[in-house]
Amino acid sequence: MNMPKSLISIKDFSKDEILHILNVAEEFETCREQNFLAGKVIACLFFEPSTRTRLSFESAVNRLGARVIGFPDNRNTSQAKGETLEDTMRIISNYVDMIVMRHPQAGAAAIAASVASVPVVNAGDGPNEHPTQTLLDLYSIRKTQGNLENLTVNMVGDLKYGRTVHSLIEALHYFHPHFIMTAPQELRMPREYLEFLEKKGVTFEETDRIEEHLNDCDILYMTRIQQERFPEPEEYAKVKDVYKLTASMLEGAKPNLKILHPLPRVGEIATDVDATPYAYYFQQAGNGMYVRMAIISYLLGYR
């Protein structure tokens, strides 16, 4: 069987494909009423909570003229009776033209794609990857900085379990970045990603002090400590309040600095930051709809 092209990892897209998605998203931002997918049906299957990803995907499907089926949690599906993920995906792929899926298990989207007869989009698989978030992050970076080249990107927080930073590293490596990785010892970037950067010749430095690099970065990528991924509650309690960014900490920031966050935030960005010219996380989430319209169009062979 010829497998349809899916988006499971950001590595599934070349640099040219990434730039193509950003360009098409830009077009959709200028005109978001598109109806060229009338007659298509897309499944949005969320086995784990979501606000932004699910609703921006559903909105994207609607704006493209297609229809959505799916569920926001799997308690009322036959998985509750013990059906395997593979069988669930085999069945649903008979009904739809594309599957968008979030799942708590790393590798679940790849399993789905291995049995589905339609494209599968990974909307987050446990601590592993979140490639559509990465594409909207790149879109937001390019929109605010004018280009993607030679930027200093400071990633702060949970770099161990935070899947968005893993995908972001892999995508940004094409554009000659310098990475600062700010995390407590327990939540440092996994070795495999550091080795990836070393292999690609991308420079990076690690610190556990948030104050150290606030004035020398172009992008400050804040992340939530991922409570749901910790094996022991005591381990989470030790690090849950490790960083809190406030407006006064940004007094020496570069004028072009933008603060991104995949959201939700739970205390790592104080609300007084929202009124600074550096805050961009709410617009970033808004950009997600255009980027997801572009991803759907591309994988279905339209744009």
Binding flag, residue 162, ligand CP (CB under 6 A): no
**Minimum Å distance from CB 123 to ligand CP?**
7
Given the complex with ligand CP, which of 32 and 52 has the nearer CB atom?
52
Given the complex with ligand CP, which of 109 and 202 has the nearer CB atom?
109
Binding flag, residue 53, ligand CP (CB under 6 A): yes
**Minimum Å distance from CB 204 to ligand CP?**
23
Binding flag, residue 284, ligand CP (CB under 6 A): no
User: Which residues are registered as beta bridge partners of 69?
Assistant: 43
- Which one-letter amino acid corresponds to residue 78? S
- Which one-letter amino acid corresponds to residue 77? T
Q: Where do the DSSP E strands lie in 119-183? A: 120-125, 152-156, 178-182
Question: What binding mask, one character per residue, do residues 12-51 give for ligand CP by CB under 6 A, x or -?
Answer: --------------------------------------xx
**Residue matched to tokens 């430095």:** 205
Binding flag, residue 150, ligand CP (CB under 6 A): no
Given the complex with ligand CP, which of 104 and 107 has the nearer CB atom?
104
**Minimum Å distance from CB 185 to ligand CP?**
26
Q: For 138-158, b where at least 16 C-beta lie within 10 A, e where not — what string?
A: bbbbbbbbeebeebbbbbbbb
Question: What binding mask, one character per residue, do residues 256-275 give for ligand CP by CB under 6 A, x or -?
Answer: ------xx------------
Binding flag, residue 5, ligand CP (CB under 6 A): no
Q: Give CA–CA dist 249/164, Å, rounded.
A: 24
Q: Give CA–CA dist 258/153, Å, rounded.
A: 10
Do 157 and 187 form a contact (C-beta atoms < 8 A)? yes
**Minimum Å distance from CB 301 to ligand CP?**
26
Please report how many Cα atoms fall inside a 13 Å half-sphere around the Cα of residue 65, on the Cβ side. 9
Q: Provide CB contacts within 8 A for 20, sequence distance 6+.
A: 298
Q: For 208-226, b where at least 16 C-beta lie within 10 A, e where not — what string?
A: eebeebbeebbbbbbbbbb
Question: What binding mask, one character per residue, do residues 210-249 give for ligand CP by CB under 6 A, x or -?
Answer: ----------------------------------------
- Which one-letter amino acid corresponds to residue 42? I
Residues 62 to 121: which contact ligand CP by CB under 6 A?
A: none
- Near ligand CP by CB under 6 A: residue from 40, 52, 67, 188: 52
| β-pair type (152-156, 120-125) | unpaired
Given the complex with ligand CP, which of 126 and 253 has the nearer CB atom?
126
| β-pair type (152-156, 98-103) | unpaired
- Near ligand CP by CB under 6 A: residue from 133, 134, 182, 223: 133
Enumerate binding residues for ligand CP (CB under 6 A): 50-53, 124, 133, 262-263
